[in-house]
């Protein structure tokens, strides 16, 4: 065969398939290409190595967009510039079809592709097999007269075709084409064997009137994808289906498996940001990917099992927010993330750091009862919800009644703290000093009058369940030192007004799971009152403050009322929540619905079967297998932009790169400026008395 030896000017693109293809869809695509004579020659290549397959397409540079649009009109396909060079083959063969009519039957087409992929799955070492299909001149279907109008001359000139297959073939456009097979990385005997395996797979397409064979070809022509002067084959679009090398048939296919997890390109909204979470892994993409700050205000949910890199992703976002000068709160129930954040605080922001750690010898104080007196009812309600959630198994009407009165009383007293609860209930002199500052005869006054009228024995019986719950705080020295500070030097308001970096280290291994949950829930409750207080600020002053909470299911109870409403309200008040947990069953049904609806940015890691099926119902372009088969340190990410509809998921290998360019400090940043020393033994009793709070 003679070929055009001049160097062809091709523009190459690599094709990726999110899923396998059907014979009908490929046929529609090829019929489209065959009917469009202005598209020029088209090269389709399938290149196989021991690690997998990749598919290429090449056309004249002026036709690339039109050809790709034609493919996308019928197939779910993505195209990108090849990341790897087209390696040159060292052995080539040209395929021949003698006779007429290759099979159009779908079962034979899919069987041929399976056989081809099966043969290619046996490659080893540096072996590579290249299947190259060049589509050249187009052919229109023959125009045949109706039988009733036929003449002897027409019958003699055009032999009639019989059967359904022949009639289907007669209505199809076609191509003049060349089909080549190349091999590299193998000695000549092995190369001939591999070509024979490919021919064997294609022979499934033979019919009673056709045969497929091979002759020695030119490696130069294959490497250059040179068009021949005389095209050796002419086939209809239907006959070409099984020769494309595309993944046709039901998964799993040999060599390819299930094509899961899908490798999806990142939407533009995920790329143009400095809040980096990883690097795109889709073919043709290596961009850094992140969650823009404008989308962070719509809240972000990370879901994945232990060890999936949730903390690494959160660390990248935290570092970006710190570098950008935002206020940041990190609540870490394990301690590792807190330590990593401290190690990456830039020098210019060390003075903004506040560490809340009840295991510290001199812990920063935290007073859930502090706040503006106008918000006393909100503070009391938040504390009540927190205690009810933490002690849900042992919560009754009596506990609710007493805690309601106590919290509403203390929330109105400047300098009160949670250690005042016990003396308020057990010490009459202490109680009188507090109550003389309460002017509410109908509400709180009535409760305390009834309480005072009871005998000490009756009072002890009623308050027993309350004091049992308070011992969770009083018996732990770290919690007592932290919560017993009436006027701590740090207030959560500073997170918003002074853009502090607040790191809450609730290491369960050191503090205890119950104590960590109680303190974290109390802190989230007070944080919520500070968020609500931003309603007094103008919109221009509601800059975004980033709040990161790991193991969120343990602390959501600190937010009173409907969680969905709370998250929506937080968005309008500039509080951007980024929350993480391991699996959906950790939520109550109401919590799960609220988090699903109100966290508009999602980062999903490899999930278990139940969670994968649940998430797939709400995810575009994904099914359960994608989430189930994600490798470690990979995730699908979806971001919601305020200017656009939610973007589709993108797969990310989490090769984390911190965005902070400052050198890691040799020691954690100092926090003395914001830490209050614990009360000395002589002063601890003073924190339980209103005499030391300006009350007389």
Least confident piece of the model among 163-177, 420-434, 503-517, 548-562: 163-177
pLDDT band of residue 240 (cuts 50, 70, 90) is: very high
- pLDDT exceeds 70 at position 537: yes
* pLDDT mean over 414-436: 93
Return phi, psi of residue 634, to 5°.
-120, 155
Only one residue has tokens 């990883």, namely 278
- In this prediction, what percent of the chain has a pLDDT beyond 90? 53
CA 422 to chain centre: 47
Look at residue 270 in the predicted model and tell me its pLDDT.
73
Q: Which DSSP string do the residues of 431-482 spell out, in sequence order?
A: HHHHHTT---TTTHHHHHHHHHHS-HHHHHHHHHHHHHHHHHHHT-HHHHHH
DSSP string across 518-530: HHHHHHHHHHHHH
Could you report the per-residue pLDDT of 628-682, keeping only the tens digit for each? Answer: 988 888 999 888 753 343 334 445 555 433 332 222 333 344 444 444 433 433 3
Q: How far is CA 230 from the centre of its chain?
A: 52
Instruction: Give the alpha-carbon dihedral of 674, 533, 690, 479, to 10 degrees.
Output: -50
Q: Where in the chain is the domain with CATH 3.40.462?
A: 11-141+165-243
User: With the CA atoms of 581, 583, 589 and 593 taken in that order, what torsion angle do they form, in degrees rounded to the nearest 10?
Assistant: 60
Region of residue 373 (left: phi > 0; alpha: psi -120 to 50; beta: else): alpha
At residue 662, the pLDDT reads: 28
Question: Of 118, 134, 163, 409, which is closest to residue 256 (Cα–Cα)?
Answer: 118
Of the pLDDT bands very low, low, confident and very high (cuts 50, 70, 90), residue 151 is: low
Instruction: Say which residue, 601 or 260, is predicted with more confidence.
Output: 601
- Which pLDDT score is estimated for 147? 53
b/e 548-568 (16+ beta carbons within 10 angstroms → b): bbbbbbbbbbbbbeebbebbe
Judge contact between 175 and 167, C-beta under 8 A.
Answer: no
DSSP H helices in 103-163: 106-120, 152-157
Q: What is the CA radius of gyration of the chain?
A: 36
Q: Does residue 470 or residue 245 have the better pLDDT?
A: 245
Report the predicted TM-score, pTM, of the whole model to 2 decimal places.
0.76
CATH 3.40.50 domain residues, the chain:
299-599+666-696
pLDDT at 516: 87
Say whether the peptide bond before residue 261 is cis (omega within 30 degrees of 0): yes
Q: Which CATH class is domain 299-599+666-696?
A: alpha beta
Q: Which is nearest to 86 in space by CA: 106, 123, 58, 50?
A: 58
pLDDT at 42: 98
Please say if the pLDDT value at position 136 is more than 90: yes
pLDDT: which is higher, 472 or 172:
172
Are 399 and 469 contacting, i.e. CB atoms less than 8 angstroms apart?
yes
pLDDT of residue 166: 52
Q: CA 86, 90, 92 angle in degrees (round to 5)?
A: 95
| 8-state DSSP, 410 | H
- pLDDT of amino acid 645: 38
Residue 578 token pair: 């980024």
Looking at the chain, the whole-number percentage of residues with pLDDT higher than 70 is 86
Higher local confidence (pLDDT), 638 or 621: 638
Q: How far apart are CA 536 and CA 530, in angstroms?
A: 11
Q: Which two tokens stand for residue 80?
A: 């990108």
Nearest to 210 by CA among 97, 337, 68, 67: 97
DSSP designation for 492: T
Mean pLDDT is lowest, of 33-47, 304-318, 455-469, 512-526, for 512-526
The answer to whether 117 touches 256, Cβ cutoff 8 Å, is: yes
Query: Looking at the predicted structure, is the pLDDT value of residue 159 above 70?
Result: no
The CA distances from residue 104 to 40, 441, 489, in Å, are 25, 91, 81
Which residues, listed in sequence order, are joined to residue 16 by a DSSP beta bridge? 78
**How large is the average pLDDT for residues 557-569?**
76
- Indicate the CATH number for domain 11-141+165-243: 3.40.462
Cα–Cα nearest to 642, from 296, 266, 295, 300? 295
In this structure, what token pair is assigned to residue 192? 């001939």
> Mean pLDDT lowest for which of 173-187, 308-322, 338-352, 622-636?
622-636
Residue the block writes with tokens 């020695």: 216
User: What's the average model confidence in pLDDT over 137-158?
Assistant: 63
Query: Of 186 and 171, which is predicted with more confidence?
Result: 186
The pLDDT value recorded for residue 385 is 86
Quote the CA–CA distance of 433 and 696 in Å, as a whole number: 7
* Cα gap 548→99, rounded to integer Å: 70
Q: What is the pLDDT of residues 18-75, one digit of tens each?
A: 889 999 999 999 999 999 989 999 999 999 999 889 999 999 999 999 999 999 999 9
């Amino acid at each position: 065969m003679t070929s055009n030896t001049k160097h062809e000017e091709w523009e190459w693109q690599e094709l990726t398939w999110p899923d396998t293809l059907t014979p009908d869809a490929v046929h529609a695509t090829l019929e489209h290409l065959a009917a469009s004579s202005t598209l020029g020659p088209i090269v389709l290549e399938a290149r196989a190595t021991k690690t997998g397959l990749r598919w290429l397409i090449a056309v004249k540079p002026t036709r690339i967009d039109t050809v790709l649009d034609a493919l996308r009109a019928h197939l779910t396909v993505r195209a990108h510039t090849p990341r790897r060079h087209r390696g040159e083959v060292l052995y080539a063969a040209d395929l021949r079809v003698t006779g007429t009519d290759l099979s159009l039957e779908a079962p034979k087409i899919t069987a041929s592709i399976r056989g081809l992929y099966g043969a290619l799955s046996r490659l080893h070492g540096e072996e590579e097999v290249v299947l190259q299909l060049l589509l050249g001149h187009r052919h229109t279907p023959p125009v045949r007269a109706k039988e009733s109008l036929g003449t002897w001359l027409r019958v003699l000139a055009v032999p009639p075709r019989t059967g359904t297959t022949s009639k289907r073939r007669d209505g199809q456009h076609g191509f003049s084409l060349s089909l080549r097979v190349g091999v590299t990385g193998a000695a000549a005997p092995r190369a001939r064997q591999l070509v024979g395996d490919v021919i064997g797979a294609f022979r499934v397409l033979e019919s009673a009137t056709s045969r497929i064979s091979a002759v020695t070809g030119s490696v130069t022509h294959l490497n250059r994808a040179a068009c021949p002067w005389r095209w050796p084959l002419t086939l209809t679009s239907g006959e070409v289906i099984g020769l494309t090398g595309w993944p046709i048939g039901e998964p799993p296919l040999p060599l390819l498996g299930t094509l899961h997890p899908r490798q999806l390109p990142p939407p533009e909204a995920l790329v143009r940001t400095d809040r980096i979470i990883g690097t795109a892994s889709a073919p043709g993409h290596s961009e850094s990917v992140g969650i823009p700050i404008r989308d962070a205000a719509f809240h972000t949910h990370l879901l994945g099992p232990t060890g999936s890199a949730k903390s690494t992703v959160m660390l990248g976002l935290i570092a970006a927010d710190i570098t950008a000068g935002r206020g940041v709160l990190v609540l870490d129930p394990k301690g590792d993330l807190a330590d990593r954040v401290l190690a990456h605080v830039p020098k210019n922001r060390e003075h903004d750091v506040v560490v809340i750690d009840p295991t510290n010898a001199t812990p920063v104080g935290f007073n859930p009862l502090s706040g503006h007196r106008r918000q006393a009812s909100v503070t009391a309600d938040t504390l009540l919800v927190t205690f009810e959630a933490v002690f849900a198994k042992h919560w009754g009407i009596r506990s609710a009644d007493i805690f309601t009165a106590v919290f509403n009383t203390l929330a109105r007293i400047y300098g009160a703290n949670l250690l005042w609860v016990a003396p308020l209930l057990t010490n009459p002199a202490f109680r009188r000093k507090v109550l003389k500052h309460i002017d509410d005869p109908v509400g709180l006054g009535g409760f305390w009058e009834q309480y005072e009228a009871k005998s000490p024995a009756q009072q002890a019986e009623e308050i027993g369940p309350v004091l049992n719950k308070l011992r969770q705080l009083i018996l732990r020295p770290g919690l007592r030192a932290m919560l017993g500070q009436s006027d701590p030097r740090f207030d959560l308001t500073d997170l918003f007004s002074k853009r502090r970096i607040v790191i809450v280290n609730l290491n369960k291994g050191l503090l205890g799971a119950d104590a960590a949950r109680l303190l974290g829930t109390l802190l989230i409750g007070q944080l919520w009152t500070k968020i609500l207080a931003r309603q007094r600020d103008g919109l221009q002053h509601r800059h975004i403050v980033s709040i990161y909470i790991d193991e969120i299911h343990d602390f959501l109870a600190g937010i009173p009322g409907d969680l969905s409403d709370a998250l929506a309200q937080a968005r309008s008040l500039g509080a951007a929540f980024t929350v993480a947990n391991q699996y959906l069953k950790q939520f109550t049904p109401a919590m799960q619905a609220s988090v699903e609806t109100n966290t508009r940015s999602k980062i999903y890691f490899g999930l278990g079967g139940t969670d994968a099926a649940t998430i797939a119902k709400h995810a575009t372009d994904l099914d359960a297998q994608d989430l189930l088969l994600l490798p470690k340190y990979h995730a699908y990410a979806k971001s919601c932009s305020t200017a656009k509809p939610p973007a589709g998921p993108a797969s990310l290998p989490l090769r984390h790169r911190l965005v902070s360019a400052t050198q890691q400090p040799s020691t954690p940043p100092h926090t003395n400026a914001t830490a209050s020393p614990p009360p000395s033994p002589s002063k601890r009793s003073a924190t339980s008395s209103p005499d030391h709070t300006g009350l007389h």
